[in-house]
Every structure is written in structure tokens, then in C-alpha cells.
Amino acid sequence: MPRRATNSSAPGSGAAPIPRPGEIFCPVGRALDLIGDRWTLVLLRHFLSGPKGFQEMRKRTGIAPRVLSSRLRQMVEDGFIEPLASDAGRSGYAVTERGRTLEPIVAAIARWWVDHAMEDHAAVTGGFTETSPQSILESLPFLLHEERARGVERIFEIRLTGTGGGVWTVQIHDGECHVEPGFAERADVRYTADARSWCAVALGLRDAHEALEQGLLIKDGGRDSLDRYFHQIGSPPRSRSDGRSEEQRSTP
């Protein structure tokens, strides 16, 4: 008859008791103790693009004031951000050198979600039809096709009208991407569109070429397209009646 399994940690067994999680050397577990709460990396993601104040972070994240205040205080204590005082007397926060070391982790999480989980989330929520264009544009640095952008120098200007509209400059510099609000001093390509139409194109809910043909998206400049250098955030159409290749479709 086979012997019954016994609990090796039972009294009198002579085996060491099962340790508590904090007693085990686990770099993943210890890192998550520090940065694994719901908001730390989300907040850090926004501070990585530049200093921001309390109200601006509320608008970008939707976090309740009490929760945001608590998280910011903890991030200062942990050395990820530092408080700043502007000339106007308003307080703000900026990322520290320690906080900047987490940038590769933030980027990897963003890319993983877009590649492996976004479609499932969109299927449940019904997509992101109310997403602000600012949130999409500021996500581009995390979505850059680095292999296509190495050695590339391109400046895009995005002009959007309607709710959530504005002007942004997207600069690709040798495999890196920088997004800033405002007009570009010199743009290689300019896109003009209604903000809602732009969101639909960026998320793959509307074909970029159809938007161009219908006048919903206007492009001035060379053949370079944002699609060439960035992941298609949504699921692009699989086929078209005009028979154009995927590479041709990604260069409007």
C-alpha cells in the first residue's frame, strides 16, 4: 500500500516551518512590495514626461483626491519623485533619478498590455471611443517600433479640433520618441483632424486611408506615417478590396 503524504511542516516532523513571504529572497516580490500598488507606476509614467501638479495629475488619471495625495506622499518617501515649487507658488512634483530607473519597466508593461491584453479589455468595455487624444499621443513613446526608428529623424505635428483637441509635436530621434504640446518649429509631416476622428484612426476603429479619402484626416508633407514607427494601437483591418499590402496601407 502506498504511503500517505505527510505535512513536512507538522510539529515533530523535524522539518523547518514554512517561512513567511517576507523572509524569502524574491526580487520580484520585494520589488512589488515597493512599486506594486495600483497607482505608483501609473503616476510615474506621467511624471517621466515632465513635472506636473496635483490637479493636472487628477485630470490625467482620474484618481480621487485623497488617494492621489496619499500616493504622492508615499512616492516622495520612497524617493521616486520630489516636490517642486513653481515661480507662481504652485506646488508640483518631478521624477527623481531613482524614479527614472523604472522607465524601462513602465514601457515594458505598456507594450505587453497593448500586444497581449488590449483586445480583451476593449471587448469587455466596448472600446475607447471616449479616450482623449492626449492620452493616446502621450502613449506613443511606449509604442515606438525601435527597429524601424533607429537612425531616423522625423518631426510630426498633430493638429486636432473639437473636444479634447489641441496641437502636439511628435519627434522621433534615433529610436526614441518625444511628445510635447505645441506647434513644431519644423515639421516633416502635419496631420489635421477632428479629435474624435483622430482617436478612431489611432485606435484602429477607422481605416486611416478611408479617413483621408473622406476628408476626415488631412495630411501635409512627405510619405512618412506615424503608423510606420508605432504599433497599431487597435486591431487594423485584415484585408481591403483594393489589394494593397500591409506596408502600403501603413503609409498614407
- Least Cα distance to 134 among 114, 158, 156, 101 occurs for 158
* E strand spans, the chain: 52-53, 81-85, 91-95, 153-161, 166-173, 176-181, 189-194, 217-221
Burial 115-144 (b: 16+ CB within 10 A, else e): eeebeeebeeeebbeebbbbebbbbbbbbb
- Least Cα distance to 82 among 102, 100, 96 occurs for 96
Given this model, what pLDDT does residue 88 score? 61
- Does domain 25-100 correspond to CATH entry 1.10.10.10? yes
Q: Exposed, middle or buried, 170 (CB in 10 Å: 0-12/13-18/19+)?
A: buried
Reported confidence tier of residue 36, pLDDT bands at 50, 70, 90: very high
| Options 3.30.1050.10, 3.40.50.300, 3.40.50.12500, 3.90.850.10; CATH of 106-249 | 3.30.1050.10
State whether the Cα torsion 4-5-10-12 is positive or negative: positive
The tens digit of pLDDT for each residue in 90-133 reads: 789 999 999 999 999 998 998 888 778 777 665 555 556 567 88
Biggest distance spanned by C-alpha atoms of the chain: 83
Domain boundaries, the chain: 25-100, 106-249
* E strand spans, 68-205: 81-85, 91-95, 153-161, 166-173, 176-181, 189-194
The tens digit of pLDDT for each residue in 175-217 reads: 889 999 999 989 999 999 999 888 888 877 788 888 899 999 9
Given this model, what pLDDT does residue 13 score? 57
Percentage of the chain exceeding pLDDT 70: 79
Ranges 66-75, 201-210, 242-251: which has the least confidence: 242-251
Given this model, what pLDDT does residue 222 score? 83
| Contact predicate 144/172, CB 8 Å | yes
CA distance 40 to 136: 20
Most confident range (mean pLDDT) of 52-61, 108-117, 135-144 is: 52-61
Q: In what order do the strands lie in the sheet with 81-85?
A: 52-53, 91-95, 81-85
CA distance 92 to 84: 5
Q: What is the mean pLDDT of residues 8-34?
A: 78
Ranges 69-78, 85-94, 99-108: which has the least confidence: 85-94
CA distance 221 to 188: 6
Given this model, what pLDDT does residue 115 score? 77
